[in-house]
Structure 1
Amino acid sequence: MMKLVVGIVIGVFLALAGEYLFLTKGGMPVAARNGQPLPLEQYLTSRALRVAMARDAGRPSPISADEPNLLAGARVYRANCEMCHGSLDTEKRSAIARGMFPRPPRLMPPGEGVTDDPVGETYWKVKNGIRLTGMASFEGALTDTQLWQVSLLLGKANQLPEPVKAELR
């Protein structure tokens, strides 16, 4: 029994020592130009994000997705989001977006978008930001109404009325 306990202690110590050496001897990629996450990194971070958002993801918007709110959301998007997440009519990425890791998703068609995400989830991301991704928190920089307006805009990005599309061009 004592050999088992000693073996477990030694195994844990070696694993921790290996992690320490990996981190302190330059094994951990920290430059934004590195293109791939470490094994399990994407799984663990996406799982943590889902858990953090769980309470608010299904939250409905307190404002309607009407044209005035979508127009206001378009103005918020152009001023605060476009430089990283791209514009409506071009696939071209800004120098800021090209230099980030992970790469910010395109939020306007044509692109990846978040039109299938619940509006509460998008609101949570815009309000709180996402650590270690470059996604800033806009709480305090935007009003709660503006946070909802841009979240509604992104949820409706593939079915925007012409005046809203014109505002985004």
Structure 2
Amino acid sequence: MRKIYAGLALALVAGIFVYAVASFLRENWAANQPPGRVEGLLAKWLLSFSRRSQADLQNPLQPTEENLREGREHFEKQCAFCHGTDGKGQTSNGIQFYPPVPSLADRQDHDDHDEELSDGQVHFIVTHGIRYTAMPSFEKVLTPEQIWKVVLWVRRLPQQHSHGPSESPEEKPHGP
């Protein structure tokens, strides 16, 4: 009887494995297509886990005029190419990504959750990036203090730009 149960358990595990591999192979891996259900669920779970691990981290900097100015400068140099100077993500580059570039000006949660990302979570994402998305790591580009300044600026984006199209630095009109 033990051998029968062991055989059934092995068959069940083998069936699950075959189903998982078949599902994985059927996924459309094109960057301009929405991810499959399995990939989307896995990505949301992993991002949710990383968010929880950094949720309590507080920004050590105050939103002084100088910190906000420097945060804006770093944002425009490093982030606006995809997110736009207004943070809405509707640039000629940002609209091409999947998952889409999130609007930083409208809400801070970037997915279906209702809670806003904490400063620590935004800092973590900017520092480490998000694998398999267009969000790169800025750990080797910006210092932790510079990233905190970017976080300060991102928090001000909803107040800075209420309407109008997104533009990346390359899309800004030139001349008088």
Mark yes or no: TM-score above 0.5: yes
Is 1:121 the counterpart of 2:121? The answer is yes
Question: Do 2:83 and 2:102's aligned partners in 1 also have CA atoms closer than 8 Å?
Answer: yes
TM-score, scaled to structure 2: 0.76
Runs of 4+ in 1 over 4 A off after TM superposition: none
Question: Do 1:57 and 1:124's aligned partners in 2 also have CA atoms closer than 8 Å?
Answer: no
Match in the other structure for 1:8:
9
Q: Residues 14-25 of structure 1 correspond to what in structure 2 (within 5 A)?
A: 14-24=15-25
Looking at structure 2, the residues matched to 17 and 88 of structure 1 have their Cα atoms a distance apart, in angstroms, of 46
Looking at structure 2, the residues matched to 154 and 48 of structure 1 have their Cα atoms a distance apart, in angstroms, of 23
| Structure 1: gaps of 5 or more residues | 161-167
Q: Residues 17-166 of structure 1 correspond to what in structure 2 (within 5 A)?
A: 17-24=18-25, 27-35=26-34, 37-88=35-86, 93-108=90-105, 111-113=106-108, 116-160=116-160
How large is the Cα RMSD of the aligned pairs? 2.7
Q: Matched residues, percent identical?
A: 24
Question: For this pair of structures, how many residues does the alignment match?
Answer: 157
1:28-59 Cα deviation digits (max 9, x unpaired): 12101112x32243333222223234332221
Residue 33 of structure 1 aligns to which amino acid in structure 2? N
Closer, same or farther: CA 86–15 of 1 in aligned 2, 3 Å: same
TM-score, scaled to structure 1: 0.79
1:132-151 Cα deviation digits (max 9, x unpaired): 11110000101122100001
**Alignment partner of 2:36: what SS?**
coil
Closer, same or farther: CA 87–71 of 1 in aligned 2, 3 Å: same
Closer, same or farther: CA 92–65 of 1 in aligned 2, 3 Å: closer
Give the deviation of 1:107 after TM superposition: 1.3
Closer, same or farther: CA 60–112 of 1 in aligned 2, 3 Å: closer
